[in-house]
Amino acid sequence: MKLVINELSFRDATDEVEGVAELAVELDSSDAKLIDRQIDGDASMDEVERIDQLILSMMRDSLKPHDIIIADDTRIFDSCEGCWSIPATGSSGYDGFVVVIATD
C-alpha cells in the first residue's frame, strides 16, 4: 500500500504542484493494516491518533524538500471522502491543504 498526494490546494499553487503531485510513500504491512482499519471504520481512537501521526510524519518528511510545511493538526481523516486532508503552508507562503489517499 502507498500513500499518494492526490491534490494540493493552495492559492497560486504553481510552485507547490511542480514535482509534488502524485508523490507516493510506500507503507510497510503493519502500517497498511492500520490504515485499512481506519478506512473501514474499525480503528479505535488510539489507532486513529497513531495513524494521524504516522501520515503527518511521512508527509512532513516527503514534502520538506519542496518547502511545504505540514501543520501539526490531528483528526485529518475525512471518512466521507476516504482521504486525509492535511493543513499546510506552501513554498509561496500561502496556507492550503495537501490531500492524501491510500492506494494498493
* Nearby residues of 57 by Cβ (< 8 Å), 6 or more positions away: none
**90 within 8 A of 15, measured Cβ to Cβ:** yes
**55 within 8 A of 12, measured Cβ to Cβ:** no
- pTM for the model: 0.85
* pLDDT averaged over every residue in the chain: 87
Closest by CA to 37, choosing from 49, 22, 24, is 49
Strand partners, 89: 69, 95
Q: Per-residue pLDDT tens for 2-51?
A: 999 988 887 766 655 667 877 899 999 999 999 999 999 999 999 999 99
For residue 32, give the C-alpha cell.
497498511
pLDDT band at 60 (very low <50, low <70, confident <90, very high): very high
Give residue 39's pLDDT. Answer: 92
User: Domain locations in the chain?
Assistant: 2-103
